[in-house]
């Protein structure tokens, strides 16, 4: 089994001092930084764009795990790649040609991720599993932080892990949405090896980020 990695979402960070919180995450043992990009169109919220990512890029050596919840996504891939994203994750519903968007991400020598909403079937990406580095399973409907984990996605994670093992593939299985101390072990047991967490990491144990990250890796 792959080592468990933690990708804290800066959606729960202090937006008035993102540099400080990102440095805290790095010191505390985070494996990467999860950046939620929302456009107010594909999802009902607006967050940050390439200029903010570019401004933060030289503040940490951690990879930027950038989740694009925007549509149409294809024409913005270049901007996020040039801003400093290391992993670019897109939704299949947000592009008219998923293969072209995968190729576009690869052209900038970035890792490719595909995200599946809670009601998006694995079938939609089954033909692309050998072409990606990461599948992001959403365990809430994207758009807002702090939502409750949808337990039905555990079966989807298990099915994806079975498919991965059967085909001897090596992509990461990342899960995002409502991850907390009471459910993270079930997510890992189902087959995930990358956990995205915002509220739990920044708020639990009186904001002791290191303690919270260590606990999420404690399985």
CA angle 182, 6, 128 (to 5 degrees): 105
| Catalytic residue of the set 39, 65, 172, 176 | 176
Q: Quote the crossing angle between the two packed helices 209-216 and 18-28, to the nearest 10°.
A: 50
Q: Is the pLDDT of residue 120 over 80?
A: yes
Name, in order, each residue with C-beta under 8 angstroms of 37's C-beta and a sequence gap of 6 or more.
Answer: 47, 48, 49, 66, 67, 68, 69, 70, 80
Q: Is the pLDDT of residue 91 over 70?
A: yes
Sign of the alpha-carbon torsion through 70, 74, 76, 79: positive
Residue-wise pLDDT for 40-76, tens only, equals: 999 988 899 999 999 999 999 999 999 999 999 999 9
| Catalytic residue of the set 21, 36, 39, 172 | 36
CA distances from 107 to 8, 69, 102 (A): 27, 20, 9
Residue-wise pLDDT for 149-182, tens only, equals: 999 999 999 999 999 999 999 999 999 999 999 9
Domains and CATH numbers, the chain: 5-216 (3.20.20.70)
Asked about 176 being catalytic, the answer comes back as yes
Confidence tier at 130 by pLDDT (50, 70, 90): very high
- The pLDDT value recorded for residue 143 is 75
State the Cα–Cα distance between residues 217 and 4, nearest whole angstrom: 6
Residue-wise pLDDT for 178-205, tens only, equals: 999 999 999 999 999 999 999 999 999 9
Q: Is the pLDDT of residue 144 over 80?
A: no
Name, in order, each residue with C-beta under 8 angstroms of 188's C-beta and a sequence gap of 6 or more.
Answer: 4, 195, 219
Confidence tier at 1 by pLDDT (50, 70, 90): low
State the Cα–Cα distance between residues 73 and 25, nearest whole angstrom: 28
Asked about 14 being catalytic, the answer comes back as no
């Amino acid at each position: 089994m792959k080592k468990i990695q933690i990708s804290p979402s800066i959606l729960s960070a202090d937006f008035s001092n993102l540099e400080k919180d990102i440095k805290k995450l790095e010191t505390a043992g985070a494996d990467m930084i999860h950046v939620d990009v929302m456009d107010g169109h594909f999802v009902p919220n607006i967050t940050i764009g390439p200029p903010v990512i570019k401004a933060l890029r030289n503040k940490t050596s951690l990879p930027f795990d950038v989740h694009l919840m925007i549509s149409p996504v294809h024409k913005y891939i270049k901007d996020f790649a040039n801003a400093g994203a290391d992993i670019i994750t897109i939704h299949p519903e947000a592009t008219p040609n998923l293969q072209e968007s995968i190729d576009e991400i690869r052209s900038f020598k970035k890792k490719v991720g595909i995200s599946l909403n809670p009601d998006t079937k694995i079938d939609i990406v089954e033909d692309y599993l050998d072409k990606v580095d990461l599948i992001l399973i959403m365990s809430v409907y994207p758009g807002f932080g702090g939502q409750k984990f949808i337990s039905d996605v555990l079966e989807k994670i298990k099915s994806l892990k079975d498919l991965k093992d059967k085909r001897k593939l090596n992509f990461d299985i990342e899960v995002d949405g409502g991850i907390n101390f009471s459910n993270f072990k079930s997510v890992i047991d189902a087959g995930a090896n990358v956990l995205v967490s915002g509220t739990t990491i920044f708020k639990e144990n009186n904001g002791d980020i290191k303690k919270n990250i260590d606990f999420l890796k404690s399985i």
